[in-house]
Structure 1
């Protein structure tokens, strides 16, 4: 792998989020926007996910199934610097669920050199819980347990000595829900980050998505943005999944696109579950103007 960094420009736009916070919806919107309204949810016009084994193996010409997680994290910054040098595209849009953390060498796993900016999608954790549980084909209690863990991990993998690591994605250290948000919005992050609340994406669509398009430096008209929003509306995404399936869906769940609304937690969560989330994440919830439920009403 060539790590010289020659001819590297800042072209990666990170689409960062805790799971089930609007990342896939935004990628569908981007696909429609870049394709003049054309949208196939199984052929997104974005550029994969940070945790992709295939991207890593293609960039390094290595078989990463023989590597441990620490070794992967040591190489990832150089991998995405290399990826940028291989593409002629002006921008690469890369999904990422990893928190913004350092590897064991003290280097950020997300490289600054090839990065243009990041969008950070955030959603009320009370709504994340039910959606995350559905995505994992697990219980809401299990989802909340992961959200509250200081070192919560997605796609956690155990690789016993002598056995290969063959999952198509690497383990993703997310931290807790609050830790994830604070990691990506920290002043220590060395590139511009724009926060998009899922609720604003739902209820103030044109304004919110237009600001994101402008932030990424895309030259698109209001008409083009409106067309992309129409083609990527939730009902259409759900319809496509029903007709064609969705390759990103957990095979153990019935559907990826579930309800596409805010406030569903009021019918899904018990008072104990609500209290657990609020007790662990009140500070960040208040920071992003998520109302704290009056526990006396539950």
Structure 2
């Protein structure tokens, strides 16, 4: 069964993946990128290559999205984590997932005023364009050679869509994860137990994991090693650092008044609900 690590892009999903991958897949609680890669992304083209479909056709991919998950779950009965940025929505008349393939979900959310500047930097667009993406309820994320087009919807609709799982969804605010990792993670492990699987929480390993996944340490590691998920600068061909500003990203210093107002007006209800306003 699958536990989804769901979020809008640039909301802290990679940090959460890093923590969970290091805890579950390392022997010593010390982060490296090879552990991170053990939590893959869905949808990815590799999940559809053996289905005999045209993976360049978005309709065919989403017509087979449940089938791809069924195959993943049949191949291994063990618990699986998958990162996704997809909204939990009906896509081309097909639901993104169902209760037969989903054990639960962790949804990580971040103040959209910080998301928008990070989104702009990562996708090499200006903040005006990034804001249009965040408020577009029909927005599909960009495809690449590994990941097909993914239906995100708007920042608010993406967040709200995952509420459908009710008590099978665990919400993490990025800001809380940064401020108090241990407290958030202990609550997360209790959530895991509520889903059925039993976890013997190893506090020594968890403490090592927390320390080794500090943002600056991962940023330094990216400078020394190749991180497969970073993208190339369209003009220079050089890799854009994936770990850019992280917790230091402060919308008060980087976001212009026009886009700030647009975001706050469009997402007023959700931002008040989450304590961002």
TM > 0.5 fold call:
yes
Greater alpha carbon shift after TM alignment, 31-40 vs 172-181 = 31-40
For 1:176, which of 145, 154, 157 is the aligned residue?
Answer: 154
1:239 maps onto 2:229 in alignment: no
Distance 1:223 1:100 in 2: 35
Partner of 2:6: 16
- Equivalent pair of 1:15/1:94 in contact (CA under 8 Å): yes
- CA apart distance, 1:212: 1.4
- Cα distance, 1:42 vs. partner? 4.4
- Alpha carbons 1:20, 1:128 under 8 Å: kept: yes
Partner secondary structure for residue 267 of structure 2 = helix
Is the alpha carbon distance of 1:32 and 1:43 closer, same or farther for their aligned partners in structure 2, counting shifts above 3 Å?
closer
Give ranges in structure 2 of 5+ residues lacking alignment: 194-198, 234-238
> In the alignment, what sits opposite 1:77?
66
Structure 1: which 4+ aligned runs deviate by more than 3 Å?
none
Pair 1:212–1:64, CA change in 2 (3 A): farther
Question: Any conservation in 2 of the 1:33–1:228 contact (CA below 8 Å)?
Answer: yes
Question: Out of 17, 39, 56, which is 2:48 matched to?
Answer: 56
List aligned pairs for 1:134-149, cutoff 5 A: 134-149=121-136
Contact 2:9 2:85 in 1 (8 A): yes
Q: What do residues 181-235 of structure 1 show as CA deviations (whole Å, max 9, x unaligned)?
A: 011113xx37700110000001121101221122123322222221111111111
CA contact (8 A) 1:121 1:198 kept: yes
Count of matched residue pairs: 265
Higher helix share: 2
In the TM superposition, residue 262 of structure 1 has moved relative to its aligned partner by 5.9
TM-score (norm 1): 0.84
Q: Structure 1 residues 85 and 190 mapped into 2: Cα distance closer, same or farther (>3 Å)?
A: farther
Q: Which structure 1 segments of 5+ residues have no match?
A: 1-10, 157-165, 292-298
1:153 to partner: Cα distance: 1.3
Whole-angstrom distance in 2 between the partners of 1:223 and 1:244: 27
